[in-house]
Every structure is written in C-alpha cells, then in structure tokens.
Amino acid sequence: MAITSRDVARLAGVSQPTVSRALRGDPRVATETRMRVESAVAALGYVPSEAGRSLVTRTTKRVGIVVSDLTNPFYPHLIGPLHDTLEKHGYRMMVFTERSDSQISIEQLVDGSVDGLVLLTSNVGSELPTELNRRRIPFVFLNRESGQGLGDAAVVDNQLGGRMAAARLTALGHRRIAGIFGPLETSTGRDREMGFRLELADAGIGLVPDLTRHGPFEFKTGYQAMTELLALPEPPTAVFCGNDVVAIGAVNAALSKGVRIPDEVSLIGFDDIPMAAWEVFRLTTIGHDLEKMAAAAAQLLVERLRGGVDSSPRRVVLEPQLIERSTLGAPAL
C-alpha cells in the first residue's frame, strides 16, 4: 500500500496536520518537530501528493506552455530555459501544442489544470489572450505578441533587428535586395519586415514586389522562395530572411542550384539559434539571447502568479545584435 502522511505522522509522533504544515515550510512548526517529520519522510520514502496540496493551496504549481510547432528548432531553445526558471520557483510545465491559437480549446486552458500560461506563438489579433484576460488567468507572451496591449511580454526589438540587417547590406553596397519574410499575422514577421523596409527606404532603396516573399517560419518557405528568386532574370545579390530556419532553407536552395554564398548572393537570418553557428551553415544573423528572453518571461509570470505586481502589462525588450559569419559579403562586380 502507498505510504501516506498519516504514516509519517505516526512515525514522527505528531499529528497529520503538523506533517502538512512542516512539509509546506510553515514557520509555526518548531525546528525540532520539522526535523522529526523530515526524518520520517526519508525513512518511509514518502512523496507528498500534489493533488492533496492543490486542495489546500488552491493552486496546481503547474504552468502551461502554448506553442504551435515543436518541430521548429527555434522553440526547444526557449522551452529549456523556461523549464529551468519555472522549476527554480517550484512550478512544473505542461505543453499544449496545436497548429494555431484558434485550434486550441479554451476549455483545456481554463479547467484548473494550470495556474498560468506562457504563449509562445500568438498571432496578431488572436482571441486567446482576450479570453484569458476576461477569465483573469495570468499569462505572458514570449517571442510574439498579439498586439492588443494585453499581458506581460518578453520579446526582442524586432523592428530594430530588421533595420540592422538592412543597414549592413546597404553598407556593403547591395542594392538589389530581396526579403523572405514571415507571416504578416505574426508580430515577429510584421515588425522585422517593417524595420527592414524602413531602413532600405532611408537609404533610398525600394523593396520591389518581385523580390518579396512571405510564408511560415519554416525550412520549406526559405527553400521555395530562394528557388524562385534565383530563377528571376536578374536575381538579388542579397536576401534577408525572417528567421534562421527560413535562412537555412534558402542556403540549401542556393547550394542546390550551384550558387555560391556569399560570392553570388549574401544571406542574413534572424534569431541566432545554435544551428546557425554550425560549420555547415556559418549563417550571418541578427542574434539575441534566447535563454535570457525565456527566463524573463518565466520570471514575469511567476511574479504575476504571486500577486506581487499591479495590473499594468510589463514588457522586457531585448536588444538584438548583428552576428557576422560566412554568408555575408559585398556584391559581385
């Protein structure tokens, strides 16, 4: 039979409520009593029931992570730091994964199985943050935002990153520049493209329609778009990609056509996922600290769950930086 807190109480010579208070760290429990309880726990191999604790505290100590695509190599690099920070504060993670916010059943998220949520892949105008806010369920945006001014957020300055990419390309002398951008319904896709276009405009360069592509932040988006761009009568000399996964797809497309990088075409990605630094890619990219961003989101949510902040949404915005590797060079003469 399973060991219960009553067994611990009998061995320690205390009441069952005293065992519960001692294991919760209640300061009213004397040190000597707490030590007897801990010794009894160790001797019996007792594991406290989370269900029982939840009934007493009315919290689950679990946080839900909402992410649309775990096959994308970007997101696992956020989930690891999220787990570490949440665990440090005594929370466990549950992952909810669907292809989009609209496919996630709100009942899954509000049934009391989690105390709060981290939203990794929200789209602009998503109904999910509005519904969570209405139900007073704490949540935080990580990487993307809904653009509705709801909820805390930990993000990178995407518009600045787009500007940095364009500034570097124009400084090298590129004029026929293409963009393979992410979805317009995402804050990351929208803001990176906006910054890129604004910086090109400041340099007197227009981003013409035949040099512009949009698609999901996926390998095949970069591969297909790059194939089309290289087939143009006058291909671009440089391409900015909405993220590193798209850029890696573009690299593969160029190599499959025998196009040399950066001798014939330069490439810049965004995010600096670890794969971007692999010797086989050596991708120039707009980087930011993924671990710091994820840890900041977890910290924001924990503070919200503990009730230590007012109702005003807070934002942690990381500054990006250009990380030059081997996919960037001056245009061929």
Query: 158-288: same fold as 62-156+289-319?
Result: yes
3-state secondary structure the chain: CCCCHHHHHHHHCCCHHHHHHHHCCCCCCCHHHHHHHHHHHHHHCCCCCHHHHHHHHCCCCEEEEEECCCCCCCCHHHHHHHHHHHHHCCCEEEEEECCCHHHCCHHHHCCCCCCEEEECCCCCCCHHHHHHHHCCCCEEEECCCCCCCCCEEEEECHHHHHHHHHHHHHHCCCCCEEEEECCCCCHHHHHHHHHHHHHHHHCCCCCCHHHEEECCCCHHHHHHHHHHHHCCCCCCCEEEECCHHHHHHHHHHHHHCCCCCCCCCEEEEEECCHHHHCCCCCCCEEECCHHHHHHHHHHHHHHHHCCCCCCCCCEEEECCEEECCCCCCCCCC
Mean pLDDT of the 281-292 span: 96
Torsions phi, psi for 322 (to 5 deg):
-80, 130
CATH number of 62-156+289-319: 3.40.50.2300
For residue 41, is pLDDT > 50? yes
Residue-wise pLDDT for 139-177, tens only, equals 999 999 988 788 899 999 999 999 999 999 999 999 999
What per-residue confidence (pLDDT) applies to 190? 97
Residue-wise pLDDT for 52-89, tens only, equals 554 454 567 899 999 887 788 899 889 999 999 999 99
Residue type at 11? L
Confidence of residue 100 (pLDDT cuts 50, 70, 90): low
Mean pLDDT of the 92-99 span: 82
Q: Where are the domains of the chain?
A: 5-57, 62-156+289-319, 158-288
- Class of the CATH domain delimited by 5-57: mainly alpha
CATH number of 158-288: 3.40.50.2300
